[in-house]
Structure 1
């Protein structure tokens, strides 16, 4: 019998950093843990928390509860700077062993805890001057027991204590809505402090505070002066605390960083004298310490290094480096000894253009790092206050570079990976890798749209559609908690949500309520609750959620139809003109009203989860009324929806906007026909893409959903992979089939939104989904696509690892499921109407797959649905010049979908007028496939050998 193991050391809130959870400003931190192993019949009945608060103060709290995720802090609130050690155990029928201890420490909680004040150099560090350096000194008279540095900045900071970096983070303190929330980090600098004299040097960069930000070319959105706030507290063995706080006693000097900008790069003069005196004064600048907050999620760090894959000369003679992966960070370059003042220039781009660095998609961003060498020997070059999105680099100033002397430094918020996927389809695996890399590059303290051009903003619509995928792939609990706090802070009193958060556009246009973008206020908290089980996120965001819906209701008016305004609609629908992405096929009023109904429903469910019965009833009724209004305004009795686009049907089906079963069935059929008419190419933008495959699957057309997923012709998810993409693109055709860059002026090659389809891949292709908040119940419901031989998904839930894997061999499918302790799984097998519920542990099922029987191809629709028959028909039509593409053929046949299959030749003949011999050959091909489809003993692929079918 499996023994009950000790639980893991408790986790505080959403902290994922290894070691102590420092700088907590949540004074009653919630606790979570997992139980690695337990007997088959184990069910938690209670837990006991031991809190060691002081040398002689240990508390124990027994709580009768089955909960183990984000349970309440049982003791008194933490005081500022207070350290605690926590361990726990759980009880089933008997108590488990105690967990390993976990340490936590409160930070500075209120403004009165600060002795420091913001300081800024006098006469240095202006907007176009070198980055300033500040220095403070402290004498420590005794052996150091503990040392903490609490620090933040107006701008970016890079701090060194006695010449050593204070930690391994980059671009601190990150980007928040600075007017409302400025993040403070607590650094453990105990190993760096020595008895006697100590100095701390801090270099300040422009960053998001003062650098160029936004595509309008504006600078200094938050202020014109850089400033630093720091408080170093050193405890010695005699119990005394020695404090160095920023004040007028600090000095300043110019650094060798001549220019730094997130978009444009950094210029560094390495001839800067490290012994230059700090002979400029500093002064205290007025700042509100009440906006200081602690960290909710992990900081930004270097997360990986990528070596150069290839070095060559471009047609113009430029030295180019390919790192083989589109990534975010910078280039680290080691150069041999050269003369002082030699200039090295490194430029960055995501793609090549006619064999040269493709800088067009960067728009005005220079993405260039420049160095003037010191001439003192081999030198290591890398910036500190910028980042670039790139795969390729161009280096000027060197005759040659060795691969071992150059590498790409990957940075990002140091999120813990929690989700994996693998299958027998290598291109699908690459799609998944591309989504992961796209998320890594854009989750840089803020969920940005892109990391390379003159934008890099927290567009709300992008994270709204991608949040289910994001929360599966990485632990984003703390990251998105912080961003949602910014969203609520930026939301105005009427409930309007800006289109980007933090809002640096500050335009009347970009605060006009916009569907799908503003709905991030409701969707993202709801997704976090579903994925993490964090009820607290609903509590914190509920006012924001409901005021957004209230504002939309006020716009919609009495008939509850959201009309007009600034709407992005189904943004970047591939049918929209390249120069007019607003002009998508889906009617923007349909898109807006559908989102209104969805958000009202989410708020109703959130109110119910929070126990607010009145609000649940109010918003539930509002959602019902909006659904009724949607049907009355946009839906015909036949199920047709205004604008007749894939996205409007996907929304209506997935968001329960069609209460009539006949309308739902008709809408599902119409959606499938639209997919056929596109020849199984994607026709959705940001709004429809997360929904289309679910809508097809739930309407009974999972085969069409899989064909859509695995399509390789443009537009599709796999087309970019055929031309070498390693991240998700902003547009379906960011790189055109002829190898040229889409030149519309808005083309990013690292833009995660369209990768939201892998949420469906995780849940339905692999079959792993949450059935209750936080995965306390897991839904296992794979569709077992015939295009795959095996498939697996694994997710690190709040309860531990959950996994689903399936494979087929010799007509037998094997399904394996792993359920963590504290959770259960609800398993549905094909052809079995019952749901099997299993507890924690490993489970295995096998079943014999029913062989696919040949289906007679009675109609044109049947012919399109037979993948092999359709492939051969389109090949014939294209090869013989009847159509330019299979998409043209699919559209040509669309009016004939319900006609007998034998009429395909007549349909083509009446539209194209081919020769009689070609028409006869076409009719023969169709007849052959129509007959062969009902005879499965001969594989369809073998029929391609029949020479009579080829002209």
Structure 2
């Protein structure tokens, strides 16, 4: 099949009998050549690529797995699927013999295309199994024999070992209580930070695997590990932070498995032979930053020649190993760097640097001074209206890094075991003018692949997309945090669920959310209630701090969104009992099928007027909102049960859903269709979740539009109403109003913060007021992604890219033209390949270009230049062009 194209209203294509398929992007558990998989039946994915611009589809596949490279082994493979008639090319499970811990396996695939032609074998890929059970670990948990507390210096642990044979390969497996960074022979192991990541540590503790072959030497070697408090014991939570939440002592577990060229093996592990001490890192904590005193550093301490005779022995600890799990989500790494765009002397005379972008990470600084000089770097997101350095919105978080010099040599510093959210830094302790070349801001976030891009003819919307993406980067540090700068930085469940669909457009968040959702289930309370934050650091003894509608619904909404974005049914399988427990929890709270109990956040940070004499504050009844989300979670549970063939559950919850919706109408809707909370959020949720009888929906949409008009084309929605606002309007024929809201640039609106200079999404619509003053400092983050949920609408309706089936196996391309835009384009890398959609209007003529990935189909709806009429074309993979 050669790539079709469109001219006017005609679709052309032609056949060939010589189609040849190239297979690419082979992944195991959504990872490229991973070296630590603990799934007993790993799943394989691949993509089809056309050759000579000939589009292809798949009708069958065959996978082979072996324990040796296919290029070296011509014997019968360990497992062959045989020819399987299926067009599935994502998450195909291994079905062979039991796989062994720490063993390496190779796999390859070939397919038969829709013309029955067989491809060549793909290039081979590989994966390595991790440690599959607690008994596979030889290492022992060790902790330093030191004054090891939150405020004490960071422990250093080391060992020497000798290797007398030539090394073929070596893998190190490491985890810790607290943060760790490892060195081999003085070189950092891996390029990840904030390891082992954050999970519900008492139930699930990740370990990481590193290929350390090139760091080892034949002869003498040394390994050193630095430990920090991290999420394990740093004070966590606002207002009354709790230290030592998971434990009060740091510890490490390390096992290195070395295979020599003669086939023999050796294991180096953490045991009683290790030694412990402290060095330059005198303090490191999440909210307050770190202190590095180079006068106390132990130079070369992780190299073989280092003398550790005055170091202390370590203590063997009986910590659990049965909670250890391999790491699947992408590690936190360094990414973009920024140089100063301006060096400022504030009215107070403080030295401040502006990096031009609100980001999350840290500053690398090159320093030269005198012994004992102390240089302090403080961090802030904004300057106040007088141009002064502003940190009140950080609350109790100091967010300061201090470096103390030991000599006059020029050295480069960066913090360890801490990070900051900032655009500006204040530098003290340096005499004279600051040299901007000495400062580099480094963005740090989970190493997720960028998958989506959006551009259009309106520069403000392009900046909005930029802000959305940087809000995601800054807050996706192993867990989806609410904010990255103040004394919080927690995995708020409501924020994550409202943003999850947008997140999946911008980046590949499959592994990121799969990992975090397992902690949602792990921290779910016995009665089914979901914590406000995950990992849950609010719980206190028997108190359950959770159960809010819109927040607890994270347990249903994100699994379904991830399933639909990536086609991974296992996400639903993993989470189904958690989803069901949440809906059952709500059901137990109801009275006559109405959820009118409990404490709820409601439409958090909705439009509110301090002196509400005329009733313009957009207050939506919290129980009305709760009822809507009760129905939505129940509907998702029904959908999931259907996918998983759980017929009994599907039938039971289908009947329950009818009762929930009937109760909503009886309680909150008049006979004429007026909803008791006459607000945008009330109508949006009722429409989006199909809470109203069909005969009342269109008039409800008209009431929504009328309400928007009363606020002079401004939104009034908060965290729960905003994600669905433009969707509901577009769905019921008011796309023009959706565009008005999107393009509104006065408060409250998406573009107002941009007019105020925002480079990320704000927590509040008016984080900086029109007079330059700030909202209340107790809750005013300038990097808070929730309102960035509009990005989903921009991809799906402006660019027109929507999944019509899980993983985009079938795609709908239907752009909604409006808002005075002359062109827009969206690009998205789905599991099958790249989707592209661009439209442009020139001289009342529309030009539209679409790319449909291999092994998928699409319905392309081509609008006329006015956007009012569409022509539909159902197509296979290829590049399409429409113009008239």
Q: What range is the shorter-chain TM-score in?
A: over 0.9
Pairwise CA distance, 1:564: 3.1
Pairwise CA distance, 1:846: 3.0
Tell me, yes or no, if structure 1 residue 112 matches structure 2 residue 97.
no
Give the structure 1 partner of residue 21 of structure 2.
5
CA distance in 1, matches of 2:821, 2:595: 43
Spell out, residue by residue over 1:320-339, the C-alpha distance to the aligned partner (whole angstroms, 9 max, x if none).
10000000001100113x22
Pairwise CA distance, 1:512: 3.8
CA distance in 2, matches of 1:256, 1:786: 57
Contact 1:266 1:383 in 2 (8 A): yes
Could you tell me which of 641, 650, 668 is aligned with 2:675?
641
Pairwise CA distance, 1:14: 2.4
Pairwise CA distance, 1:832: 4.8
Pairwise CA distance, 1:578: 11
Root-mean-square deviation over aligned CA pairs: 1.6
Pairwise CA distance, 1:827: 2.0
Mapping for residues 596-675 of structure 1, pairs under 5 Å: 596-661=630-695, 663-675=696-708
| Greater than 6 Å deviation, 4+ residue runs | none
Spell out, residue by residue over 1:662-704, the C-alpha distance to the aligned partner (whole angstroms, 9 max, x if none).
x111100000001111111120000010111111111211111
Could you tell me which of 332, 337, 341 is aligned with 2:372?
341
Could you tell me which of 175, 178, 182 is aligned with 2:205?
182
Contact 2:839 2:847 in 1 (8 A): yes
Pairwise CA distance, 1:41: 6.9
Contact 1:515 1:596 in 2 (8 A): yes
CA distance in 1, matches of 2:112, 2:610: 62
Contact 2:763 2:783 in 1 (8 A): yes
Pairwise CA distance, 1:584: 5.8
Could you tell me which of 322, 330, 342 is aligned with 1:298?
330
Q: Name whichever of 134-143 and 360-369 sits farther off.
A: 134-143
Could you tell me which of 45, 53, 74 is aligned with 2:59?
45
Give the structure 1 partner of residue 81 of structure 2.
61
Spell out, residue by residue over 1:41-91, the C-alpha distance to the aligned partner (whole angstroms, 9 max, x if none).
743111121223137563433322110011111322321001012121211
Spell out, residue by residue over 1:784-813, the C-alpha distance to the aligned partner (whole angstroms, 9 max, x if none).
114100001111000000011101011111
The 1:85/1:641 distance shift into structure 2, 3 A limit, reads same
Could you tell me which of 490, 494, 497 is aligned with 2:523?
490
The 1:485/1:672 distance shift into structure 2, 3 A limit, reads same
The 1:9/1:707 distance shift into structure 2, 3 A limit, reads closer
Give the structure 2 partner of residue 125 of structure 1.
148
TM-score, structure 1 length as denominator? 0.86
Contact 1:266 1:386 in 2 (8 A): yes
CA distance in 1, matches of 2:543, 2:370: 53
User: 2:98 is paired with a residue of what secondary structure?
Assistant: coil
Mapping for residues 891-910 of structure 1, pairs under 5 Å: none
Pairwise CA distance, 1:834: 6.1
The 1:432/1:41 distance shift into structure 2, 3 A limit, reads closer
Pairwise CA distance, 1:141: 1.4
Q: Which has the higher contact order (CA 8 A, sep 6+)?
A: 2
Contact 1:681 1:708 in 2 (8 A): yes
Could you tell me which of 729, 734, 740 is aligned with 2:773?
740
Contact 2:525 2:544 in 1 (8 A): no
Contact 2:364 2:412 in 1 (8 A): yes
User: 2:91 is paired with a residue of what secondary structure?
Assistant: coil
Pairwise CA distance, 1:37: 1.0
CA distance in 1, matches of 2:279, 2:123: 45
Give the structure 2 partner of residue 236 of structure 1.
260
Could you tell me which of 32, 35, 45 is aligned with 1:22?
35
User: 2:529 is paired with a residue of what secondary structure?
Assistant: coil
Higher helix content, 1 or 2? 1
CA distance in 2, matches of 1:35, 1:733: 47
Spell out, residue by residue over 1:890-920, the C-alpha distance to the aligned partner (whole angstroms, 9 max, x if none).
xxxxxxxxxxxxxxxxxxxxxxxxxxxxxxx
Mapping for residues 538-937 of structure 1, pairs under 5 Å: 538-557=572-591, 559-575=592-608, 577=610, 585-661=619-695, 663-830=696-863, 832=869, 835-847=872-884
User: 1:625 is paired with a residue of what secondary structure?
Assistant: helix
Spell out, residue by residue over 1:101-160, the C-alpha distance to the aligned partner (whole angstroms, 9 max, x if none).
212101111000101111111123233210000002221110011111100000000110
Give the structure 1 partner of residue 171 of structure 2.
148
Q: Number of aligned pairs?
A: 838
The 1:786/1:682 distance shift into structure 2, 3 A limit, reads closer
Structure 1 unmatched runs, 5+: 848-951
CA distance in 1, matches of 2:480, 2:276: 35
Tell me, yes or no, if structure 1 residue 521 matches structure 2 residue 561.
no
Contact 1:578 1:744 in 2 (8 A): no
CA distance in 1, matches of 2:403, 2:146: 25
Spell out, residue by residue over 1:593-638, the C-alpha distance to the aligned partner (whole angstroms, 9 max, x if none).
0000110010001000111111111111111210111111111121
Give the structure 1 partner of residue 9 of structure 2.
none
CA distance in 2, matches of 1:166, 1:41: 43
CA distance in 2, matches of 1:419, 1:537: 22
Spell out, residue by residue over 1:818-852, the C-alpha distance to the aligned partner (whole angstroms, 9 max, x if none).
100111111224455764211100112235xxxxx
Pairwise CA distance, 1:341: 1.3
Pairwise CA distance, 1:537: 0.4
Give the structure 2 partner of residue 863 of structure 1.
none
Give the structure 2 partner of residue 273 of structure 1.
298
Contact 2:26 2:45 in 1 (8 A): yes
CA distance in 2, matches of 1:729, 1:363: 17
CA distance in 1, matches of 2:829, 2:870: 29
Contact 2:836 2:851 in 1 (8 A): yes
The 1:594/1:36 distance shift into structure 2, 3 A limit, reads same
Give the structure 1 partner of residue 157 of structure 2.
134
CA distance in 1, matches of 2:543, 2:626: 17
Could you tell me which of 154, 173, 198 is aligned with 2:196?
173
User: 1:8 is paired with a residue of what secondary structure?
Assistant: strand
CA distance in 2, matches of 1:72, 1:576: 55
Could you tell me which of 393, 396, 403 is aligned with 2:428?
396
Could you tell me which of 390, 393, 401 is aligned with 1:369?
401
Contact 2:454 2:462 in 1 (8 A): yes
Could you tell me which of 444, 447, 450 is aligned with 1:411?
444
Contact 2:743 2:819 in 1 (8 A): no
Contact 2:546 2:552 in 1 (8 A): no
Give the structure 2 partner of residue 262 of structure 1.
286
Tell me, yes or no, if structure 1 residue 473 matches structure 2 residue 509.
no
Pairwise CA distance, 1:733: 0.6
Contact 1:423 1:791 in 2 (8 A): yes
Larger radius of gyration: 1
Pairwise CA distance, 1:40: 5.6
The 1:529/1:630 distance shift into structure 2, 3 A limit, reads same
Pairwise CA distance, 1:98: 2.3
Could you tell me which of 246, 249, 254 is aligned with 1:222?
246
Pairwise CA distance, 1:376: 4.6
User: 2:266 is paired with a residue of what secondary structure?
Assistant: strand
Give the structure 1 partner of residue 5 of structure 2.
none
Contact 1:120 1:228 in 2 (8 A): yes
CA distance in 2, matches of 1:737, 1:564: 39
